[in-house]
Amino acid sequence: MENKIKEQYQIWVENAHADTDVVDELNAIANDEAKIEDAFYRDLAFGTGGLRGVIGAGTNRMNVHTVAKASQGLADYVVKHFAPEERKIAVSYDSRIKSDLFAQTASGVFAANGIKVYIYSQLMPTPCLSFAVRKLNCAAGIMVTASHNPSKYNGYKVYGSDGCQITTEAADEILSEIQKLDIFGDVKTLSFEKGIENGLIEYISEDVYTAFVEEVKKQSLADNDINKDVAIVYSPLNGTGLKPVLRTLKESGYTNITVVKEQEQPDGNFPTCPYPNPEMKEAMSLGVEYAKKHNADLLLATDPDCDRVGIAVKNSEGEYVLISGNEVGLLLLDYICSRRISLGTMPNDPVFVKTVVTIDMAERVAAKYGLRTINVLTGFKFIGEQIGFLEEQGKADSYVFGFEESYGYLSGSYVRDKDAVDGAFLICEMFAYYATQGISLIDKLNALFDEFGYCLNTLHSYEFEGSAGFAKMQSIMEKFHRGLDVIGGKKVREVLDYSKGLDGLPKSDVLKFLLEDNCSVVVRPSGTEPKLKTYISVSAATHADAKILENKIVDELRGYFA
């Protein structure tokens, strides 16, 4: 073990006293060089996604000290760029372990720097944070969450004054401020209680939350005569979605709702869903059991910070099947466009925004309705950024819809991040609209495939833990950057290397291999987890044909990740 790591460990033993859990862990790993190295071999990465990591002791962990240091860096950035009266930061947090403590710790640091803090009095979804930043005219915002990660993780998303996650430029500047700081000597602190007493920390009023719910309800495109008495099973996956999702649905007339009891209340241990991600079958399994038991029409589940929503519906045999994020996005895009045309509310220059890894078929659906498609890098912040660009051009109303394959949707410009409250609401409305006509969502999806051709999109992740894993990830990406001629028997027709800053987008380590016959493969490192991800898109005559080809591509790529 390097001397530098040993020195860091010793400094923490002598100074890290703010959280007894950190103290206990430092003592527990005293004779374990491997654990000390993993905890201290680097500082927890800070980027456009903020911080995210395993909760624990050390510079490479989420704890009160790394959170405080990041908060001091953000405070220095705000002080540098905003006048005193503009220095306001909104704070929210989810149900994860220590989320409330980290939110209060960050608030205390901001207050100690003379920055006014607005914090929700109880846990609230990520879109509510984005909304509060905009509603309260804040310079920045933070959301303490690790989104859909396992329970050992927590994180810290940073938002700009537009309510969108920070840009690459802002992240680089905040990181520069963070790196100037000594974690124990340079961080200003104030207790949360003292901040409340002196008025530097203030709870966000109920009016702001109500205004958010009202904005979601305004996204409705339904006729008054649709039957809203659909049987819904809903799971917040022990996260933040319970109150806002139920309130929005019930106030809109959807009252036949059963909540998955075991996943109803906030619980950062996620006892029945170790991976609380509605993208994963395992996270949806208890909800499916409830749906069967209650003969539900529709199953909804939102992730812990309620910015992703997954669904299941009955097929023609009466079995519950999960619908992917790409497929739900296609359905919503088609529904929103068709309804807006019917209602006469389609703007003159309608715009649809998607990420480069999101199903390409969506562009053909958008074109049918006259929408212009904008492709952006992975991450909903880039979709939010495009809404901001439209707003600057006086075309905020041009934005019609945006979605990403990872179950994130947004139909309005009231927030600048994906919103599972909005997503759940529109999915219920879309379901009820078609059900009133005797059409299932699966029927509608198959009709789209009949019209535009079948397209299968899948995501495969490969995990690499620790310092050795980090180095291996870099080595694997280097291999892909050297190029491939054929993947799964399909010739590579073109390679889009986004690390060079294509199409005016920021540089990002993303490679998209365009294959013959309208197939593609995207490879990129996760921005928030120690994973490499591959996104495979296959066009074929039938689902069976597409699956055979997809399996062939997956098997071939697997060799690169071994």
C-alpha span between 73 and 88 (Å, rounded):
15
Let me know if 440 is a catalytic residue. no
End-to-end CA distance of the chain: 27
C-alpha span between 370 and 515 (Å, rounded):
27
C-alpha span between 94 and 19 (Å, rounded):
20
SS3 content of the chain, % helix, strand, coil (to 5): 45, 20, 35
For residue 63, give both structure tokens. 């704890």
Q: Active-site residue among 92, 107, 147, 161?
A: 147
29: CB partners within 8 A, 6+ apart: 35, 36, 39, 57
428: CB partners within 8 A, 6+ apart: 228, 230, 232, 249, 254, 298, 300
| Type of residue found at 420 | A
φ and ψ at residue 136, rounded to 5 degrees:
-100, 10
With contact defined as beta carbons under 8 Å apart, do 532 and 525 qualify? yes
For residue 414, give both structure tokens. 């009231």
C-alpha span between 53 and 34 (Å, rounded):
18
C-alpha span between 73 and 205 (Å, rounded):
27
- Tell me the β-bridge partners of 52: 155
Burial zone of 193 (CB within 10 Å; 0-12 exposed, 13-18 middle, 19+ buried): exposed
434: CB partners within 8 A, 6+ apart: 440, 441, 443, 444
Q: Which residue's entry shows tokens 């509310």?
A: 345
For residue 401, CA distances in Å to 276, 305, 361 come to 26, 21, 15
C-alpha span between 421 and 409 (Å, rounded):
10
With contact defined as beta carbons under 8 Å apart, do 378 and 356 qualify? yes
The number of residues making up the chain comes to 562
Alpha helices for 347-419 (secondary structure H):
361-368, 380-392
Query: Cα 48 vs. chain centroid, distance in angstroms?
Result: 12
With contact defined as beta carbons under 8 Å apart, do 237 and 273 qualify? yes
Sheet holding 531-540, edge to edge: 454-463, 531-540, 519-525, 511-515, 490-497, 486-487
Q: DSSP character for 373?
A: E
Q: Which residues does the annotation mark as catalytic?
A: 147
